[in-house]
Structure 1
Amino acid sequence: MSKKRVLTGVTTTGIPHLGNYVGAIRPAIRAAQSSDVESFLFLADYHGIIKCHDPAMIHESTQAVAATWLSCGLDPERTTFYRQSDIPEIMELNWILTCITAKGLMNRAHAYKAAVQDNLNNGQEDSDHGIEMGLYSYPILMTADILMFKANEVPVGRDQIQHVEMARDIAGRFNHRFKEVFTLPEVKIDENVELLVGLDGRKMSKSYGNTIPLWENDKKTQKSVNKIITNLKEPGEPKQPDESPLFEIYKAFATPSETADFTRMLAEGLAWGEAKKLLAAKINAELAEPRERYAALTANPSQIEDILQAGAAKARQEARELLNQVRDAVGIRALK
């Protein structure tokens, strides 16, 4: 039985936090352990420079993201783990696909339309004011990322569904115009994915400033947890799970029986301060070993680099094979 190929990209524009761990990293690593899945995971550093123009952040984030996934259990022997910029074949494929992609398709991309609308809302005469080609055409680069490795499924959030649909459109156009080379990918939406709430009850996000850092020590984690909003109920007063985001965060790290016990303790009047201590203890217990691995990896970046280079060598073998097929299909071939 052939394995299903699943491809995931992680943009290198920040340092992973607890929400990234619960919502993306932990479930993806578990899924990659399935015997019927062939997993590809890459650091999308070329995507990162579309919005982030801070070279230091791109570099720092690349190391942090790679170390995070490896520390949390990603097995580079089972998963093809590589950095996008180490696969030059992707950029060549990106150009070939650009040459056959309809401008009208790019005009309909959500990110571009949102940027145009912002300009109109701000009274700009030029609706394209400040919009760079990276933003405009990055769905084509994402298409190259996906098609290069014949991905069957691409796990994405709902805001990214359009890009996988575009990849299908572009692949279909190429296959029809030249030769059937590309696999048409399918969107994978996990309806059960955990979207962790932040300190203020909204989705945990850097843009909201409500995150809990992933790689802090136990004491600093407790300080972050202490910032979770609660009401003014005193110790001894019954409390409900929906009265603070603390409960939802606890549930993400607890078994069903532990969650039931926590619910009962709240109803019996558990003090918010004690509840926060229990939560911090759960987080710290799960992350104790990954934190040790993260510290060791970040203290020796060359070890991370060696892993990425090994992944790139493995990925490029496939990339060159597919790119040769693409080049031949469009007429770029040796003279004989």
Structure 2
Amino acid sequence: MSVARMLTGDRPTGRLHLGHYVGSIANRVALHRRYESYFIIADLHMLTTRHRREDIAQVSRNAREMVTDVLACGVDPARATFYLQSAIPEVGDLNTLFQNLVTVPRLERVPSVREMARDAGRAEIPYGLLGYPVLQAADILCVKAQVVPVGKDNAAHVEVTREIARRFNHLYGEVFPVPEMIASDTPTLVGTDGQGKMSKSRGNAIAIADDAATVRRKVMAMYTDPNRVRADVPGTVEGNPVFAYHDVFNPDRAAVGELKARYRAGRVGDVEVKEALAAALNRFLDPIRERRARIEADAGLVDQLIVDGTERTREQVRRTVVEVRRAMGLTGAYQQVRRRAERARKAAATA
């Protein structure tokens, strides 16, 4: 029995952060050995919100950093295929064909599309952003992925993929698997400023690649309970980002419970709570830093992984596109025209 395929990935907009880790990377590390795993470097998706030349010029560097982050977190390079989306033009062919299998009102109901436009400062939704879920369907179905790990932000996108796969199969025959979603059970990680989720663009993120001093500096500047002006004032734990991070990254549950009790009673200051968090985060990140150092010491490793993975993936996508065009009858139309032209040319030559 063949191993099921999994597709996952990120846009190459910079270093990954702890929000990425809890929302998707930890799940990928746990799953990637169970599946034939494809990791997309989704630079075409990046263009929906960042399409200036200077943004595009950063893609290769950001791609290397992104892959390095994922490997440092524990993904085995021998069990993962990394590939650059824009280096596989056939994905655009599928995107074009899939656009006719979904309606504009359906895409307008995808909540994250408007959220992405808002976060990018767009008053109106560009055509490419509205079609983001269709291109994502092309990404998933081009390698015939059967499972897709998702956070809550991406579930609605993948549901569009499932609808497109079913619609295509109904119209043209069984070509695509209808991918299953594997949901992450970790909630969104709030940013260090307490304002919405952690985000590179908002400057409220702790990067996976941050060194110990940087982590400590960011933690000591974190938002806490705004109503607590002194250490002897009882504080609120619920909704407090510092304790939200303790809950996720500090494995010493007894120590966290004691800090919460003292905080509620006004018997511990924010500085002590943050110092404990900084120490816990650095203990968590130390093994990741060690793996990163080994990866970066192997010159050319990450670049070669991307090149090899992209070439393998393109071969798979080419086969998928041929199968799709045959199922739809598109290859037959051109062949008929070509045969008629050939017959006419021969007839003219013998006349």
TM, length-normalised to structure 2: 0.79
Cα distance in 2, alignment partners of residues 2 and 277 from structure 1? 49
Q: Name the residue aligned to 2:231.
A: 234
Q: Where do residues 126-275 of structure 1 align in structure 2 (5 Å cutoff)?
A: 131-190=125-184, 192-202=185-195, 203-230=197-224, 231-234=228-231, 241-242=237-238, 244-255=240-251, 258-268=252-262, 269-275=267-273
1:179-205 per-position Cα deviation (integer Å, ceiling 9, x unaligned)? 221111233333x21422332334323
Cα distance in 2, alignment partners of residues 326 and 288 from structure 1? 47
CA root-mean-square deviation: 3.2
Q: Quick one: structure 1 residues 309 and 278, their matched pair in 2 at CA, closer, same or farther if it must change by over 3 Å?
A: same
- Matched residue of 2:77: which SS? coil
1:204-246 per-position Cα deviation (integer Å, ceiling 9, x unaligned)? 23354322233222112111110123333427x7766437421
Q: CA deviation at 1:10?
A: 0.8
Q: Where do residues 7-18 of structure 1 align in structure 2 (5 Å cutoff)?
A: 7-18=7-18
- Matched residue of 1:51: which SS? coil
Q: Name the residue aligned to 1:123.
A: none
TM, length-normalised to structure 1: 0.82
Q: Quick one: structure 1 residues 232 and 201, their matched pair in 2 at CA, closer, same or farther if it must change by over 3 Å?
A: same
Q: Quick one: structure 1 residues 115 and 73, their matched pair in 2 at CA, closer, same or farther if it must change by over 3 Å?
A: closer
Residues 63, 298 of structure 1: 8 Å contact kept: no
- Aligned residue type for 2:189: L
Residues 13, 58 of structure 1: 8 Å contact kept: yes
Residues 81, 305 of structure 2: 8 Å contact kept: no
Question: In the alignment, does 2:94 pair up with 1:93?
Answer: yes
Q: Quick one: structure 1 residues 238 and 262, their matched pair in 2 at CA, closer, same or farther if it must change by over 3 Å?
A: farther
Q: Where do residues 96-135 of structure 1 align in structure 2 (5 Å cutoff)?
A: 96-110=97-111, 131-135=125-129
Q: CA deviation at 1:310?
A: 1.7
Q: Name the residue aligned to 1:284.
A: 282
Residues 148, 182 of structure 2: 8 Å contact kept: yes
Query: Share of identical aligned residues, percent?
Result: 35
Residues 23, 194 of structure 1: 8 Å contact kept: yes
Question: In the alignment, does 2:69 pair up with 1:68?
Answer: yes
Number of aligned residue pairs: give it.
321
- Matched residue of 1:77: which SS? helix
Cα distance in 1, alignment partners of residues 298 and 124 from structure 2? 40
Cα distance in 2, alignment partners of residues 133 and 253 from structure 1? 39
Cα distance in 2, alignment partners of residues 16 and 324 from structure 1? 35
